[in-house]
Amino acid sequence: MPFLFRDTLTGETRELATLEPGVVRMYNCGPTVYSTPQIGNFRAWMFADVLRRALELGGHEVRQIMNITDVGHLTLDDTESGEDKLEAASRREGVTAWDIAARYTEEFFESARRLNILPAHEYPRATQHVPEMIAMIRGLIDRGHAYVTPAGNVYYDVATFPAYGRLSGNTVEELEAGARVAVVPEKRHPADFALWKRDEQHQMQWDSPWGRGYPGWHVECSAMARKYLGDEIDIHTGGEDNIFPHHECEIAQSEGLTGKPFARLWLHNRHLLVDGRKMSKSSGTMYTVDDIEARGHSLRALRYMLLATHYRQPMNFTWPALDAAAGAVRSLDTSVRGITAADGVADDPSLAALSAGAETRFLAALEDDLNVSAALAVVHELRAAVNRAQTVSRGDAARLRGTWERLDSVLGLDLLAHAASTPEARPDDAEIQGLVDARTAAREDRDWARADAIRDELAARGIRLEDGPDGVRWTRD
RNA sequence: GGCGGCAUGGCCAAGUGGUAAGGCAACGGAUUGCAAAUCCGUGAUCCCCGGUUCGAAUCCGGGUGCCGCCUCCA
């Protein structure tokens, strides 16, 4: 079965037909590193991560590139009201823009790692690809798609690229009528966008044929995608806000230069809302990964939650929904941990059929425009079926673990590792074990009041007890 | 002002013409000393109004509410 995706450019659901059979060249729009990323940003990176994992489960080799935008950019075309995020952060924190970029790049990597997002194959930085961008701008000027103003700025001439607006559904005329773009006299058309800005005040500046300055925002992705993936790529992803102007401009740059279709599929994820509203700093809803942990939630629960809503649906973050995700993860952990094998138990052919069927349906759901919600339904049905099976043969147990491993290769919840691991050692382990033993003794004496009192005390400390046939197991919440 | 999207049980969320997946919570039962975990079972006609159709959550029209893009933004 081929993968089907809804392509933003055509509005159609289309088959993934890669340039090179079996190899997917994928470019994901990454972070702009001027502040700590919030969980809405991670919805986009998580989408890219699951997409990559699903393609790999489907047998594709994926070459994944994610840019790090570490150059500050003034808004499109003005030097008065525009604010450069990196320079603003630099002023606020009293360090250079370079320090800001380095610091938040590290934060991004750290949070991504904690969310079990697989590293892309390259994370090209804009600051390290200025020569490539200059070369691209030169090519665009040579081909008549860009022009240099007397002030030393270089703009893309949108009138020379008739397809401009096709991705977003905008037309150049409407954009002009919208009049939200400040009129800059030196531009031929209000929708023309900057490829190079001459600015000797800017903290980050480079020499160019047009004077010292810095590159326009959009050109970095065109230049870096081309360098690492070639003139044509299979998949380009980003948040819905990137559709216009960023990706629209990328198409104009890349195709204007090469004359070849840039990306075969454009995939965009909808935004994450908090309590049904756009998250905002003023309402205190721009949660970071640290905020989630500070509230006592695991990042596995956050990962599950971010996964569980289809990427093209607006997703609503609420704390009760995060609780629900935590419950779902716990039930999966319990089930995987509970797979117990015994000698002398015969293989159960129905179990093998069950897992094989689950894997098939799981992949089929993912192939259908990455329907992770439907895939999770398969996962939970398998979970319930396995729980019903109780003790299984050694062969079946190994097969089941194999199935869970493959399902988890997409989910990224580390289910097997969690099932196998013993709780991490803590200083009060001995004390807790002592209380557990005391409760066991009380139960043997049928002193239920004392046994329950101990259980309550442990519960208050976040210790969960499970009385099983093989004794008591305890875990930390 | 222009363009686009969404509205499914208490909460989260699949499903785009053939009679409502899944998770969490809740309730009843099994199990348990009592619990926890697990298993079995219970719940929605799909924002409102009108239309098309043998048949609509799914298509069309009109409302209402919310969200997004048009400016940096995942």
Domain-terminating residue out of A249, A269, A289: A269
- CA A212 / C1′ B36 distance in Å: 68
- CA A315 / C1′ B8 distance in Å: 15
Among all strands, which nt has the closest C1' to A193 (CA)?
B71
Domain-terminating residue out of A221, A252, A269: A269
A11, part of any domain: no
A2, part of any domain: no
Residue A417's contacts (CB-CB under 8 Å, 6 or more residues apart) are none
**Judgement on whether residues A179 and A313 belong to the same structural domain of the protein:** no
DSSP letters for A197-228:
EE-SSSSS-B--TT-SEEE-HHHHHHHHHHHH
**Judgement on whether residues A160 and A255 belong to the same structural domain of the protein:** yes
Strand A233-239 vs strand A263-269: parallel, antiparallel, or unpaired?
A: parallel
- In strand B, the nucleotides that come within 7 Å of a protein beta carbon are 1-6, 10-15, 21-25, 32-40, 66-74
A12, part of any domain: no
| First vs last C-alpha separation in chain A | 41
Q: Domain total for chain A?
A: 3
Alpha-carbon dihedral A196, A199, A203, A206, rounded to 10 degrees = 50
**Judgement on whether residues A241 and A291 belong to the same structural domain of the protein:** no
Angle formed at CA A261 by CA A133 and CA A195, multiple of 5 degrees: 25
Contact at 8 Å (CB) between A236 and A265? yes
Among all strands, which nt has the closest C1' to A39 (CA)?
B74
- CA A436 / C1′ B70 distance in Å: 63
A111, part of any domain: yes
CATH number, domain containing residue A312: 1.10.730.10
Distance CA A461, CA A452 (A): 14
- CA A268 / C1′ B74 distance in Å: 9
Q: Which domain holds residue A434?
A: 429-476
A291, part of any domain: yes
Residue A60's contacts (CB-CB under 8 Å, 6 or more residues apart) are A18, A22, A23, A24
A1, part of any domain: no
A13, part of any domain: no
- What is the ipTM score, two decimals? 0.94
**Judgement on whether residues A465 and A408 belong to the same structural domain of the protein:** no
**Judgement on whether residues A261 and A144 belong to the same structural domain of the protein:** yes
Q: For the sheet with A233-239, list strands across it.
A: A61-66, A23-28, A233-239, A263-269
- CA A220 / C1′ B53 distance in Å: 53
Distance CA A196, CA A209 (A): 10
**Judgement on whether residues A110 and A242 belong to the same structural domain of the protein:** yes
**Judgement on whether residues A408 and A265 belong to the same structural domain of the protein:** no
Contact at 8 Å (CB) between A211 and A152? yes
Domain-terminating residue out of A208, A234, A269: A269
Enumerate the β-bridge partners of residue A391. Answer: A340
**Judgement on whether residues A75 and A195 belong to the same structural domain of the protein:** yes
**Judgement on whether residues A336 and A462 belong to the same structural domain of the protein:** no
Nearest residue (CA) to C1' of B72: A75
Among all strands, which nt has the closest C1' to A328 (CA)?
B23
Q: Which two tokens stand for residue A71?
A: 């150059």
- CA A389 / C1′ B18 distance in Å: 35
A54, part of any domain: yes
Contact at 8 Å (CB) between A261 and A233? no
Alpha-carbon dihedral A318, A412, A61, A246, rounded to 10 degrees = 20
Nearest residue (CA) to C1' of B22: A377
**Judgement on whether residues A411 and A454 belong to the same structural domain of the protein:** no
Tens digits of pLDDT across chain A (477 residues): 789 999 998 888 889 999 999 999 999 999 999 899 999 999 999 999 999 999 999 999 999 999 999 987 654 443 444 567 888 888 888 889 999 999 999 999 999 999 999 999 999 999 999 999 999 999 999 999 999 999 999 999 999 998 888 888 877 666 665 455 556 778 888 888 999 999 888 889 999 999 999 999 899 999 999 999 999 999 999 999 899 889 999 999 999 999 999 999 999 999 998 887 888 877 788 899 999 999 989 999 999 999 999 999 988 899 999 999 999 999 999 999 989 888 888 899 999 999 999 999 999 999 999 999 999 999 999 999 999 988 899 999 999 999 999 999 999 999 999 888 766 677 788 888 899 999 999 999 999 999 999 999 998 888 888 888 778 888 877
**Judgement on whether residues A310 and A209 belong to the same structural domain of the protein:** no
Nearest residue (CA) to C1' of B15: A374
**Judgement on whether residues A143 and A52 belong to the same structural domain of the protein:** yes
Among all strands, which nt has the closest C1' to A324 (CA)?
B24
- CA A336 / C1′ B42 distance in Å: 28
